[in-house]
Amino acid sequence: MTDNQSTSQDSSTNEKGAKLLAQREESPFVTKLTQGLGAVITLIVLSWAIEFWLKLGFEWFDEHACLVCLGLTLAIIFVRYPYDGGKTRLSLPWYDAALAILGAGSCFYLAYIYGDIELNPFGMRPTMFILGLILIPLTWEALRRTTGWSLTIVFSFFVAYSFVGHYVPGIMKGLEQEPVRLIAELGVTNVALLGLPMKIIVLTVVLFIWMGQLLLHTGASEWFTDVAAALMGRSRGGSAKIAVVASGLFGSISGSAVSNVASTGVITIPLMRQAGYDAKSAGAIEAVASTGGQIMPPIMGAAAFLMAELLELEYTEIILAALVPSALYYLAVFVQADLQAAKDGIAPLPEDRIPAFTRVMKEGWFFLLPYVVLIYTLFSLNLPPQESAFWAAISVAIVSLVFGYHGHRISLKQLWESVAGAGRSSADIVVIGAMAGIIIAILDRTGLGQALTLVLAAVGEDSLFLLLVLTALVSILLGMGMPTSAIYLLLATMIAPSLIKLGVHPIAAHMFVLYFGLMSMITPPVAIAAFAAASLSGAKPMETGAMAVRLGWIAYVIPFVFVLSPSLLWQGDIVNILLAAITAFMGVWIASCGVIGYMFGPLSAIARLIFFVAGILLLLPAEALPNGLAINGVGLVLGILVLSKDYITNKRNKISQTSASSSD
């Protein structure tokens, strides 16, 4: 391939990626206005992270920052998103301008009087009631415009229940609420609209969104791809392995599987297609690898920090818990990509497409700095997550200004775009945080949370497995179309507490809903990461989604395993932890051979089934099952037998083929 051809292809794929990320036609006025509002959100969050205002002598609450950011968020949504859900916004109707002003003005006024509310909530209740009457419907409408009807219906159900729940018969009957007080407290207080979800999103998650924006603007996705190419390009199926490594590394930071597909997929998908992977396989590998980045430490798309805050645990505990499951996920994807390449005879990358590792590291070593800064500030300096995220993001900006990748330093314009883009793109998740806070308050005030736990207990009394299956299905349905942090926050609010009350380990419960919420990204019918990859590969969306489910099979299995055996989450005795990890790694490798249908050579249907069964037997947690060690032992023996038979059979076939060739 000539340099001109390569440049032309890179330009074409980058245009596809840009369109995939944008997917919205706006007038210049709308774009500039929402970028300006978004920049203010990011700057407020940055100032709060370093306690800038406190150092100047202003004793403001965290709720002040949340209210101003919520007001700006409502303004962005009503300016940017049309009422009818269309993708075109060429002008700003008067009614949306009025809603934007009303939303921002109400939040700003509430911030102005918030101190009085804290001092005298009873005396301020009439004002709180009026503001609640404004902010709850505006939150509802903003949610509808950004996420669609499915989540809005869920929100509507909870709000309606808070008013009429005491009329519901049986176990689901709620406590009667006084309407004026209910509206006043749901729409204003720091245990509802301004509760923990809103604080976590505004004060922590937005910073990670900014860091992801900086990395996008500085070429980090290209560098991760180059590193993967240098490491994996010379092995069979090297193009797919590049996608797995690069998308996993970048996905941990980006916080969005779709933006990960759009940024790394424009490079990796054409590479896989050129190497010989069919369109649906290339798209599926990229989608699965990009989605998995959201469960990979140290950042996990900011979910790790959310989980640490909600569970009131040290950040290190969450990272340790996520290590083994994420490694199993990527092992399964990596092994399947390798075996598919062997099965289809896909060669390594041409030498001229493989960069020298030393040159790649020399040109982009500084992209490792945010990881180093983040880990150092969190573990050595014991800084809070938001301050650690601030310094990690600042380190990206500084080294990009000083060094730059391929000699291209980030410009001041790109720096501004990253600030504006972070606040603008965080609007969706901020309004979801407001919704989650209101739902938490309703669950607590009405007793619905306890009722849901009793219902789930009735289901799980006869079968924990059935309970987990139903929870998995609900998590996939609720997670459709939402970013990582939003998916996790919603499910951690609604479902995880009930699992914990039923005896599931707290970290296991939260990891379970996180995994299945994320699987909505690759699970049809609304597999948005798989569909985004299909648009780049040229494959049919549903076929790509089906292939992604097959490649990501481990993510549908491993959550059940770590609920039964928290040892995989680094909980318990070190001997059990190591035993569970070793057998799980062996099981994933052997089962993946059965999924692809290849080991040392092609496998028959019976052999594939035996491989898969042997792998699952090794995956099952020994400590959680009667005769668990014996079950693992059966899986190990069965695996060794089928591996040995496959090796001997294929060796004999090769000898026969060699003899036949010699005789010819």
Angle at 382 between CA 381 and CA 387, to 5 degrees: 90
110: helix, strand or coil: helix
- DSSP code of residue 502: T
Lowest model confidence (mean pLDDT) among 54-68, 267-281, 454-468:
454-468
Q: Answer yes or no: is 510 within a domain.
A: no
Render pLDDT for 158-199 as a digit per residue (tens, 0 to 9): 999 999 999 998 888 889 999 999 999 999 988 899 988 888
Number of domains in the chain: 2
pLDDT for the residue numbered 263: 72
Render pLDDT for 465-498 as a digit per residue (tens, 0 to 9): 888 888 888 888 777 767 677 778 878 887 888 8
Q: Which one is predicted more confidently, 532 or 39? A: 39
Pairwise CA distance, residues 189 & 53, whole Å: 22
Out of 162, 184, 200, pick the residue that ends a domain: 200
* pTM (predicted TM-score): 0.77
Render pLDDT for 235-267 as a digit per residue (tens, 0 to 9): 888 888 888 888 877 777 666 677 778 777 877
Confidence tier at 328 by pLDDT (50, 70, 90): very high
Out of 200, 232, 249, pick the residue that ends a domain: 200
Q: Answer yes or no: is 161 within a domain.
A: yes
Q: Answer yes or no: is 72 within a domain.
A: yes
- Tell me which residue of 426, 421, 394, 386 sits closest to 39, measured CA to CA: 421
pLDDT for the residue numbered 660: 63
Question: Please, what is the end-to-end C-alpha distance for the chain in angstroms?
Answer: 38
Cβ proximity of 251 and 257 under 8 Å:
yes
Amino acid at position 116, single letter: D
10 Å CB burial of residue 241 (0-12, 13-18, 19+) is: buried
pLDDT for the residue numbered 181: 93
Query: For residue 42, what are the contacts with CB-CB under 8 A and spacing of at least 6?
Result: 206, 210, 419, 420, 422, 423, 426
DSSP for 374-385, please give it. HHIIIIIS---H
For strand 88-89 and strand 25-26, is the pairing parallel, antiparallel, or unpaired? parallel
pLDDT for the residue numbered 210: 86
- Tell me which residue of 595, 456, 507, 115 sits closest to 300, measured CA to CA: 507
Pairwise CA distance, residues 222 & 268, whole Å: 10
Cβ proximity of 572 and 590 under 8 Å:
no
- DSSP code of residue 348: P
Share of the chain above pLDDT 90, in %: 25
Q: Answer yes or no: is 493 within a domain.
A: no
pLDDT for the residue numbered 348: 81
Out of 153, 171, 200, pick the residue that ends a domain: 200
Q: Answer yes or no: is 308 within a domain.
A: no
pLDDT at 207 over 80: yes
Amino acid at position 625, single letter: L
Pairwise CA distance, residues 271 & 1, whole Å: 12
pLDDT for the residue numbered 540: 87
Q: Which residues of 555-580 are buried (b: 16+ CB within 10 A; e: fewer)?
A: bebbbbbbbbbbbbbbbeeeebbebb
pLDDT at 550 over 70: yes
Question: Mean pLDDT over all residues of the chain?
Answer: 84
- Domain containing residue 614: 572-664
Q: Answer yes or no: is 104 within a domain.
A: yes
Q: Which one is predicted more confidently, 387 or 7? A: 387
pLDDT for the residue numbered 37: 95
**Phi, then psi, of 26 in degrees rounded to 5:** -135, 155
Pairwise CA distance, residues 191 & 177, whole Å: 16
Q: Which one is predicted more confidently, 257 or 659? A: 257
Q: Give the H/E segment covering residue 423.
A: helix 412-425
Pairwise CA distance, residues 170 & 173, whole Å: 6
Render pLDDT for 90-102 as a digit per residue (tens, 0 to 9): 889 999 999 999 9
**C-alpha separations of 401 from 217, 351, 394, 404, 407 in Å:** 11, 32, 11, 6, 10
Q: Tell me the H-state helices in 25-124.
A: 28-49, 52-55, 62-80, 94-119
Q: Give the H/E segment covering residue 267.
A: helix 257-275
Q: Answer yes or no: is 140 within a domain.
A: yes
Cβ proximity of 272 and 285 under 8 Å:
yes
10 Å CB burial of residue 79 (0-12, 13-18, 19+) is: buried
pLDDT for the residue numbered 662: 61
Q: What value does the mean pLDDT take over residues 124-138?
A: 95
pLDDT at 79 over 90: yes
Render pLDDT for 96-128 as a digit per residue (tens, 0 to 9): 999 999 999 999 999 999 999 988 989 999 999
88: helix, strand or coil: strand
Render pLDDT for 514-531 as a digit per residue (tens, 0 to 9): 999 888 888 887 788 888
pLDDT for the residue numbered 233: 79
**C-alpha separations of 6 from 1, 3, 114, 227, 405 in Å:** 7, 5, 58, 19, 19
Among 3-17, 340-354, 594-608, the range with the most confident prediction by mean pLDDT is: 594-608
Q: Answer yes or no: is 17 within a domain.
A: no
pLDDT at 576 over 80: yes
pLDDT for the residue numbered 379: 76
- Tell me which residue of 592, 640, 639 sits closest to 617, measured CA to CA: 639
- Residue 297: is the preceding peptide bond cis (ω within 30°)? no
pLDDT at 390 over 60: yes
**C-alpha separations of 516 from 153, 156, 274, 423, 567 in Å:** 20, 23, 33, 27, 19
